[in-house]
Structures are given as C-alpha cells and as structure tokens.
Amino acid sequence: MRRSLFAAIPFVLIACSGPAESQRAGGQAAGRPFTATPVADFDAPWAMTFLADGRMLVTEKDGRLLLVAADGKSRMTVAGTPAVDDAGQGGLMDVVLAPDFARSNRVYFSYSTGGPGGKGVVLARGRLAAIGTTARLDGVETLFTARPFVEGDGHYSGRIAFAPDGRHLFFTNGERQQFTPAQDPKATLGKVLRLTLDGKPAPGNPLAAKGFAPEVWSYGHRNLLGIAFDAQGNLWEQEMGPKGGDELNLILPGRNYGYPLVSDGDHYDGRPIPDHATRPDLERYKVNWTPVISPGGLMIYSGSLFPQWRGDAFIGGLSSKALVRVDLNGTNAAKGDQWDMGARIREVEQGPDGAIWVLEDGGRGSAGRLLKLTPTAAR
C-alpha cells in the first residue's frame, strides 16, 4: 500500500483502556500454528481497514467509526458519519480505503438506513482528516442505495472491494431475507454490483442489455458478507446459506448463483430447497459448508509472515467461532484449516507487516476483541 500524505500528519490520540489480560489473553492454543495477541476491545465491531502506518479504521455496529493506534492502546471517534439504523443485523458496516487514498484521503463505507418502503443498505464515501486530537470525515456523500427498500433487519451484506485496476468497485447487496429478490432482474438485492468509483453503474456490465438493473454483475445470492480479489484478479465471494449450505464462490460476470432456486441447505421452517446438483445450468459454489460456519469477513492473504498461506483465503466464522482457511489454486478452491477461536469472528484482515488480524463479533457472548495473529515461535 502506498503511504498516505494523511498518514504523515502528526497528531495525538486520546488514551483509552487496553484489553483485559490474564484470563482473556489470546496466546497459543493447541493445534493453532499462530499466537493470538489481544490488542484492543470494541463494542460490536463490524469491519476494519489499515492505514499504511499501521493505524486502523474500525466500524462499530451502532454507527461509530474509530481511528485506532497501531498498538491498539488509544483511539478517537471519527466525526461526520451519518446516522444508521442498527436494529437486527443493521448498522455501520464495511470500511475500505480508496485506491488513491494516498492522494485523496477518501474512505468508502456502507451502512443501513430507513426510508420509503422499509430499510436498505447504502454505499457512501468521505475524506478522512485528523488534526490534533480530532478526526472527521469531510464531504460525506451517498454514492448508491439498494433497491428496493424492504421491511426487516436482516441480510444487508454491504461488503466493498475495489477492482485491481482501481477504476471500479464491487458492492454486495443481500436479499434481505426476502428470497425472491435474488432472482428479480429489477432489484439490486441478492446481487454483486459493479460500480464506478462515483457509485454509478459501470459501463459494460453484462446483464444490463437483458433488462437487469444496470449495476448487476452477478445474481442469485443470499447474504454476501465477504468479497475480495486474489493476486490473479479472480473475484471471490462468500455467503451464508440457509439451514446448511454456506458457500465460497468464484464470481463470474453475468452468472446466476442459484438462490433461492437451489442451495445445499434448506429453509429454516423445514421446507427443502433443491440441491445445486439438480440445476447444472446455474453457477455452483467452489466450497460448501454443512454444518455451516456462518462466514463473516473474507481476506486473501498476500503477506510474508505466513509464506505457506500466501494466496489462500481466510474467512471469519460466526456461529462456528472459527478462523477458516481455504486453499485457492487458480479458479479452484478446497477446504484447508478451521481453527477454533473460542468467539464469533466477524472480520479478518491482513496488516501492513503481514500479520493476520481478526475482530470478534461482540454479540452472543463474544467479547469484541481485536486479535493479532503472528507465527508461533519454533521450540
């Protein structure tokens, strides 16, 4: 990552308490080839991204955006974020630096809000500024709003990934627990979207000429909580299945990934869903989990601290309380490791030094800690 001009601006962070020690220490657990060091505590964190100097932006579900020191010992609240609807699965969601952040200081983020018809997910951006002990987002603007808004508080998705060329972004819209919008060509729900950096439909999207919403890149998705490009430019996405059938997908332009027509899981009320194998005309997952892992964030590792995992996918497991590794080999994938983390893992990211960082969810008994994973020293 190129060093930001913003990162060079000196300022003092406000001190805050660090994570509890002793009984809550991370450390090495049996069977894990890494040491997990607690760095900070948060209230229901959702996503994070790193600045070049090791500082972090962390979102919390209730709408707070935090700028956190590299060692986690101090933080400040970034002013200027819009009000969010944080009921259910809603809140302030993803946060990602713009491809030209070193020049523009732009930060892209997503959140849920209410409006005519119900609620939906929004893509927005602003310019990060910090002077002394204050930080804020200036010039916040809404770039894209999901269509349609519907009732309910689930399956917003809202993950963001920039294309390797830095000219387009991909944005996930969940089907909002409404099932059929995932196959509705006019809705953006249940879709992967390809947009310009200003949030407009990207020219050349593959389904616009077929009557789809012009932003749609792929469709037939459920709750898409991770999306990332690998070093070869392949786009990977993971999503929660219903009762069974979590998926890791290779996202190809114009393809239908089947939900709710097919799934290797069933509806929660017991109604069966035909398996993927019954519809070879629909795009099939690359990896599938039943029992589910409840996938959270997705990261493709490219660092040097864990050279044996370079190019592999890492997924946070919520109900599984796990960190999940998937072997990627070109356009193929296979299950790797699944490490018990003892808490719901909402987010996984790579730090500037190649360490792997995970955020605990903060809900359902999960503490909301930030953990830094480093290789276990040889004995």
- Number of neighbours of residue 373 by Cβ within 10 angstroms: 24
CA-CA-CA-CA torsion sign (76, 81, 85, 91): negative
CA distances from 201 to 104, 163, 166 (A): 22, 14, 15
Q: What is the DSSP string of 25-37?
A: --B--TT-SEEEE
Three-class SS of residue 8? helix
Three-point CA angle 111, 325, 313, nearest 5°: 60
Report in angstroms the alpha-carbon separations of 133 from 9, 14, 78, 82: 12, 7, 10, 21
Q: What gap in Å lies between CA 105 and CA 197, rounded to an integer?
A: 14
Would you say 75 and 40 are in contact if contact means Cβ atoms under 8 Å apart?
yes
Q: How far apart are CA 129 and CA 365, in angstroms?
A: 35
DSSP 3-state assignment of 104? helix
DSSP states of 129-184: EEETTEEEEEEEEEEEE-SS-BSSS---EEEEEE-TTSSEEEEEE--TT-SGGGG-
**202/152 Cα distance (integer angstroms):** 29
Let me know if 168 is a catalytic residue. no
Q: How far apart are CA 120 and CA 348, in angstroms?
A: 24
Residue 308: helix, strand or coil by DSSP? helix
Residue in 155, 168, 221, 276 annotated catalytic? 155
- Residues 378 and 33: their CA atoms lie apart, in Å, by 10
- Most distant pair of Cα atoms in the chain: their distance: 61
Within the chain, residue ranges assigned H as helices are 101-104
> 122 by DSSP, 3-state: which?
strand
Known catalytic residues are 155
